[in-house]
Amino acid sequence: MERIPAAPMRPGITLLGGVLLLMGIVWALQGAYLVPATFMRGPLWILLGSGLAASGGMVCLLGSGTRP
């Protein structure tokens, strides 16, 4: 069976994953009171930020062509 060539959108997917990863880290730090925020404080934002950062990391891995 032939391998399908890599899709041309992979750099875009990797960039999207990187943005999601950075947003998640910022949200988690805001939830932990380490970065100033107005309402994004507390354990809920730590959980949401951690989940978003993990999802962004997985998207980065998928975009780069490596398997988790």
Give the pLDDT of residue 10: 80
Q: Global pTM?
A: 0.80
Give the pLDDT of residue 43: 95
DSSP string covering 6-41 = PPTTHHHHHHHHHHHHHHHHHHHHHHTTSS--SS--
Tens digits of pLDDT across the chain (68 residues): 666 665 556 888 999 999 999 999 999 999 999 998 888 899 999 999 999 999 999 999 888 775 55
